[in-house]
Amino acid sequence: MANRKVIAVGLDSPNNSVFEKWMDQGLLPNLAALRNESSCGIVSHRKINNDQNSWIPFLTGKSLQNIDHWLSTYQPRNYENSENSLYNAHGHQPFYAVKGQARVVMFDLPVPITDNVDGIQIAGWATELNETFSASIPPSAITEIHEKYGMDPKLDGALKYYNQEFERYSLSYQVPSPYDIGALRLFRDKVLASTATRGRICRDLLQSEDCDLFLTEFPETHTAGHTFWHLSQSHPLAGLSADFGPDPLLQIYQAVDHEIGLIAEMVGPNDELIVFSVDSLTADCLEIARSLFLPEFLYRWSFPGKAALAAGAAGTTPPQPRLDYLMHWKHEIWELRTGDGDRDLQSPKEQADHNDPFNWQPTNWYKPVWAQMKAFALPSIADGYIRLNVKGREARGVIDAADYQRTCDEICSRLSELVDPRTGRALVDRVIQTRRDPFEIDSRNSPADLIVLWQDESPVDVVDSPLVGRIGPVPYFRPGGHQKQGTKIDNFFMVRAADCSPEKPFAEGNLEDLPATILNRMGLDIPEHFDGRPLRFILDTAYAANA
């Protein structure tokens, strides 16, 4: 049984350098004060593939190397892809599934609920994902939350979708255009309201529920990073910040800081408070490349002389970026379709009417012609996914298996020619081939044959190819984004407890070590299947010398 109560609070994807700077400047006073009272440490992770979710190592204690979980599934027999949400099971119980050993209260982590937990689990109130499934154990808990505190303010006006795979309805809110200052202000206010309500729910649960482990997270830092990066940090659209007013990213970080300060006041002297981060966002350099430039390039390569979206004249000086894109990004991109695109692509509205959760991503609009293309892009996150249309593997393949490697090489060569005409910089960093044999079957492997890693030095709105011409300029997508595959991401954690202090920092480790550390701090055994191990204190000689 647990011998110590732990309250663990996560921050989802705050930019770590910005976060540390604002703490040092006194702009996040409660977290800075907590840092001065805690043992601190760094746990890192690298995504083996960017469609892997950074929360999985924390939730399961397993390394991403040993987790089989992809954003989407793909069936070559019918060219169908479906969403594989983090809410979907990935074969591993959450680390707090310790039935009979501890009572747990979990509020709104991005994870499916499970039977192997004593206590309360509430999921899907206001996660970062803009497709939300609400569920709880006991089933009445989420209903009581909605009745007492209301729905997530961001869900005001949300669309309702029926998810065929989960056989249930979900709600999906729409993120405003990064160019629409009025809509951004309204959305900022909703995120702030969501933060305040989340804090109140957490405090009320802490006060009313006796537990050994309380777990929650603030996803608002993730949402804010995607939506407001350009109004706070370096970005081609940073000039819009003069019209917006106060820094909205800072405002939301400060709102989270305030709520964590109130939670910290409720933690007793014999209990432990752990504050941690998972993942880190930065300026988005990847989303337009993988969701628009890549599928359009493959379309033009497969159908010489045709262009579906954003046709332009390569070799000319690109026009100055426009600032009048006020519709949602998918609608603005759909307005850039050609006659070929109108005939061949499926519109985002039609896909939304069919409850396709990928309707927002242009990659998905090319589905009607996947069977006719030599290769096509699959929906993905950050990195580009290319699937070759191989005879004998795909239902209507057009590439002979004997030509598989030659075709992979040709695609890689042509991708290396893609250039941002504004800077002269290559768009593609490198391409990873996932299999040498197109018929190789391994559930741990990506459904893509080629994974494209993009340059991440600056956002790009137009690209030139000597083979297929110019694509763009196009409106920028969400200003903040994820980092490319293989990037080392540092996540911080702080532990305030009787045996902790800044003079006793923790040794650095991996993100999967954090759940093992929490169980260890509670006095519980670490499951044998965990990859992570409890982190130990180290002597900070530099601190001791200056003390």
> What are the pLDDT digits (tens) for 281-290?
999 998 999 9
Categorize the per-residue pLDDT at 492 as very low, low, confident or very high, splitting at 50, 70 and 90.
Answer: very high
> What is the spatial distance between Cα 276 and Cα 494, in angstroms, rounded to a whole number?
6
* Res. 445 pLDDT band, cuts 50 70 90: confident
Mean pLDDT of 494-507: 95
DSSP 56: H
C-alpha pair distances (Å), 527 with each of 278, 337, 507, 523, 531? 22, 53, 21, 13, 9
Q: What is the pLDDT of residue 487?
A: 79
Per the CB < 8 A criterion, the answer to whether 93 and 109 are in contact is: no
3-state secondary structure of 464: strand
Q: Distance (Å, rounded) from C-alpha 139 to C-alpha 141?
A: 6
Which is more confidently placed, 540 or 59? 59
Listed in order, strand segments (DSSP E) in 97-152 are 103-107, 118-123, 131-132, 135-137
The answer to whether residue 69 scores a pLDDT higher than 60 is no
Distance CA 453, CA 24 (A): 34
Chain Cα centroid distance, residue 357: 15
The 10s digit of each residue's pLDDT in 207-223 is: 999 999 999 999 999 99
Query: Phi/psi at 29 (nearest 5 deg)?
Result: -65, -35
Q: Please state, rounded to an integer, the average pLDDT across all residues of the chain.
A: 91
Q: What pLDDT was estimated at residue 130?
A: 66
> Rounded to 5 degrees, what are φ and ψ at 108?
70, 30
Instruction: State the Cα–Cα distance between residues 346 and 367, nearest whole angstrom.
Output: 7
Give pLDDT tens digits for 263-306.
Answer: 999 999 999 999 999 999 999 998 999 999 999 999 999 999 99
Q: What is the pLDDT of residues 19-54, one digit of tens each?
A: 999 999 999 999 999 999 999 999 998 876 655 678
pTM: 0.92
Q: What are phi and psi of 190, to 5 degrees?
A: -65, -40
Hey, is 288 helix, strand or coil? helix
Q: Could you tell me which of 354, 368, 344, 362 has the C-alpha nearest to residue 471?
A: 362
Q: How confident is the model at residue 546 (pLDDT cuts 50, 70, 90)?
A: very low
Cross-strand bridge partners of residue 104 = 119, 213
Lowest-pLDDT range of 61-65, 116-120, 457-461 = 61-65
- Give the span between the Cα atoms of 80 and 367, in whole angstroms: 8
Residue 86 pLDDT exceeds 70: no
